[in-house]
Amino acid sequence: MEKLIAVAKENYPRNKIFENRVTMANNNLSIAKASWLDPLSFNYVNRTNIYNIDGVNSSILSGYFLNINFSPASILVKKPYQVKNARSEVIVANAERDEYALQLEAEVKRRYTVYVQNLQTLKLVNQRVIDAESTFTNMKAKYERSEISFKEFNDVSTFVTSVKESKVSAEANLLTSKFQLEELLTVKLEDIK
């Protein structure tokens, strides 16, 4: 059963969605941490001397300029909460992934248990069919020798038909439970070793 659970966790698409959500939350946390310097902006301007037609320097300011803008409200108020939100997203994404892993494990166990139950039921029904057919053969011989009445022979014949119908039902139940289990595994049960 552990092998089936591992296969389901590895292959089931919804599990991959939760893994990607955790990755996205971790990436958002990294972006939030790196955005602490966003409120600071640095500007650099190189202004050369500009001369008019007469050759006179018409530029009042020339040279290199460095401009620094600082937004204390953004750094002190906004950024800490953005980082806290990103950390919370990571926690939520991990919790959702872990919860789904538990749900998936429980569902695989439940479906596997139903599959095994239907398999055992089919084995029992197969044995009943063999017994019923044997009884029918004996009763048919007795009927042909006039040792039993037609009603007794008819009752046995009806019983054999009923048992064969239950075999068909048991086979259908087994196949249905197998398909439901394979739905979670995303591979055929026979392919799992």
Q: What is the pLDDT of residue 182?
A: 92
Q: What is the pLDDT of residue 116?
A: 95
Q: What is the pLDDT of residue 97?
A: 92
pTM of the model: 0.71
Residues of the chain with pLDDT under 50: none
Q: What is the pLDDT of residue 6?
A: 85
What distance in Å separates the CA atoms of residue 160 and residue 167, rounded to the nearest whole number? 11
Q: Where would I find the H helices in the chain?
A: 2-11, 13-34, 72-73, 79-144, 150-185
Q: How many CB atoms lie within 10 A of CB 81?
A: 10
What distance in Å separates the CA atoms of residue 15 and residue 107, rounded to the nearest whole number? 13
Q: What is the pLDDT of residue 111?
A: 95
In CATH terms, the fold of domain 2-191 is: Outer membrane efflux proteins (OEP) (1.20.1600)
